[in-house]
A and B are shown apart, each in its own frame.
Chain A
Amino acid sequence: MLCNECGKNEAKVHVTHIVNGKKTENHLCEECAKKSQSIFNSNFSMENLFSAMLNNAFSGATYLSSKGCSTCGMTYEQFRNTGKFGCSNCIETFKPKLMPVVKNMQGYDTHVGKIPKRAGGSYKVQKDIEKLREELKQMIDQEEYEKAAELRDKIRDMESNI
């Protein structure tokens, strides 16, 4: 038989894909088989991984029929199918089953990056103070006492403002 891809050469490589229980067969010549193994043809991506994990985690009739997000109306089924939040409250609604998926996919479950000034509020100030304390320790270790004193004053200032 001829190759499915190019239709020119004889098909020598027979590939069977089983995705979500569905089986498909592809018959390729050696050239096209090599190309299909290229990294760009790989179906592995964060999005696909997330989708698969989400489907697994969000299963079960009783669970799926329970009330979704009260703010935007996003149901468990909708969330499972789209993988997207409908509003900022969806997180609280879906958190229990979602957290293990996020941790698995992202590799971590806690944010350590930028904190917004307003939305972060006093939490941000806390984190900023922590950072400054680290710096202060370093300055003392490096015997940069002037800089250390500056930092110490800055920290005192910020603490008094909380």
Chain B
Amino acid sequence: MDKEKEIVITSRIRLARNLKNYKFPTKMTDEEANSIITNANDVINGSGLNFSLSYMKDLTELAKNVLIEKHLISPALAENKNEGAYLLSPDNKISIMINEEDHFRIQTIGSGMCLKECWDTSNKIDDILEEKLEYAFDRHLGYITSCPTNIGTGMRASVMLHLPALSITNQIDRLLYGVCQLGVAVRGVYGEGTKSMGYLYQISNQGTLGASEETLIEKITQIVMQIVEKEKNIREQLKNNNVDELEDEIYRAYGLLTNARSMSTDEAMKLISYLKLGKEIGMMESVQNKDLYELMIKIQPNNILSFANKEISVKERDVKRAELIRNELSS
């Protein structure tokens, strides 16, 4: 398997756009909000794309939270008091959030390192919308987004990385601090603030004005490639110098995952992370065909609730989680 694809989990391009003749989400009326949703739906589905439209008000709290855990919508869209909605492509790779912080947030996600392809797709969707709907655009400041932190290209290019070797050898903080000096933002993917559960990190551009989309993408790509190299090197080092210790950790993780009867999200994320590392450095034969990143999503709290299909306590969720993991790893 392509080594790079194992470390780079997903790439994402998000474009923020607003329409010129409607008030922005901070000030818009429900009428305007609904009008925008209808217009977007008409334009997108009128152009032959078969996107499904979902209104936030029609979704349960659980459904919204599951979508957030799957990275299909943002917490902001779920919490919005405005009339919000989203359009989703059949393959779930392209989503358009409507009336989140901006009128439109066009997002394309791809597996592995593929920012260019994601940009091409988001770009096309952007063109389709703009052809029929008038955008708020300024010659000097570019696309007018609600927040000046997004103005200009309105583009956020992010890459999700799995960096277990750097994390467990305590080199991650120093590396990421260095990376931040280059105008790039880093945050943990799951968990609050300090946590980076599962050793998953998201790297994205900070600035959005003054550089072309291609330049920003190139910059992020270069930085990510350097981080990937570092992770690969540390994995080699671990294999050569600490193989016994590492093997022990990995097999213990496997032991717990295949046998425990109750497990918290925290613990599961850490253990699956070790298992994934083990698989990628050639240690775990039995899980070679398993998608361990998918498993990381499946065990998130709301996904488990959804899987259980009824109201259950945190303790019962932990039991269900362990059950799901045992089933996934044994099949």
Chain A residues with a Cβ under 8 A of chain B: 35-41, 45-47, 50, 71-74, 82-88, 90-91, 98, 101-102, 105-120, 123
CA distance A38 to B23 in the complex (A): 40
27 residue pairs from A and B, CB less than 8 Å apart: A39-B177, A46-B185, A50-B147, A50-B148, A73-B27, A83-B149, A84-B26, A85-B144, A87-B27, A88-B18, A88-B24, A91-B138, A101-B148, A102-B151, A106-B207, A107-B210, A109-B210, A111-B139, A111-B140, A111-B141, A112-B210, A116-B126, A117-B127, A117-B130, A118-B130, A119-B134, A120-B137
CA distance A115 to B142 in the complex (A): 7
Chain B residues with Cβ below 8 Å from A38 are 173, 194
B202 to chain A, nearest CB (A): 11
Contact indicator A41/B193 (Cβ below 8 Å) = yes
Chain A residues with Cβ below 8 Å from B134 are 118-119
Taking CB as reference atom, which chain A residue is nearest B22? A87
Contacting residue for A111 out of B127, B152, B180, B183, CB 8 A? B152
Taking CB as reference atom, which chain A residue is nearest B216? A113
Chain B residues with a Cβ under 8 A of chain A: 18, 20-27, 101, 123, 126-127, 130-131, 134-149, 151-153, 155, 173, 176-177, 180, 183, 185-188, 193-196, 206-213
Contact indicator A116/B139 (Cβ below 8 Å) = no
CA distance A74 to B24 in the complex (A): 11
Contact indicator B173/A112 (Cβ below 8 Å) = no
Contact indicator B144/A91 (Cβ below 8 Å) = yes
Contact indicator B147/A83 (Cβ below 8 Å) = yes
CA distance A50 to B137 in the complex (A): 21
A135 to chain B, nearest CB (A): 14
B145 to chain A, nearest CB (A): 8
B189 to chain A, nearest CB (A): 11
Taking CB as reference atom, which chain A residue is nearest B188? A40
B281 to chain A, nearest CB (A): 26
Contact indicator B152/A106 (Cβ below 8 Å) = yes
A106 to chain B, nearest CB (A): 4
Taking CB as reference atom, which chain B residue is nearest A5? B194
Contact indicator A119/B20 (Cβ below 8 Å) = yes
Chain A residues with Cβ below 8 Å from B194 are 35-36, 38, 40-41
B82 to chain A, nearest CB (A): 13
Contact indicator B137/A74 (Cβ below 8 Å) = no
Taking CB as reference atom, which chain A residue is nearest B176? A39
Contact indicator A116/B24 (Cβ below 8 Å) = no
Chain A residues with Cβ below 8 Å from B187 are 40
CA distance A37 to B172 in the complex (A): 13
A143 to chain B, nearest CB (A): 26
Most buried by B among A37, A113, A118: A113
CA distance A120 to B20 in the complex (A): 12
Contact indicator A109/B139 (Cβ below 8 Å) = no
A111-B27 contact, Cβ under 8 Å, with A50-B149, A102-B151, A105-B148: no
Contact indicator A111/B153 (Cβ below 8 Å) = yes
Contact indicator B186/A119 (Cβ below 8 Å) = no
A116-B149 contact, Cβ under 8 Å, with A39-B180, A86-B26: no
Chain A residues with Cβ below 8 Å from B180 are 39
CA distance A88 to B17 in the complex (A): 11
Chain A residues with Cβ below 8 Å from B149 are 46-47, 50, 83, 105
Chain B residues with Cβ below 8 Å from A110 are 140-141, 209-210
Contact indicator B24/A86 (Cβ below 8 Å) = yes
A114-B131 contact, Cβ under 8 Å, with A40-B196, A83-B148, A109-B210: no
Contacting residue for B26 out of A82, A102, A123, CB 8 A? A82
Chain A residues with Cβ below 8 Å from B21 are 88
CA distance A68 to B331 in the complex (A): 63
- A88-B144, A102-B151, A115-B137 known, 6 other contacts, Cβ within 8 Å: A87-B27, A102-B148, A108-B209, A110-B141, A110-B210, A119-B20
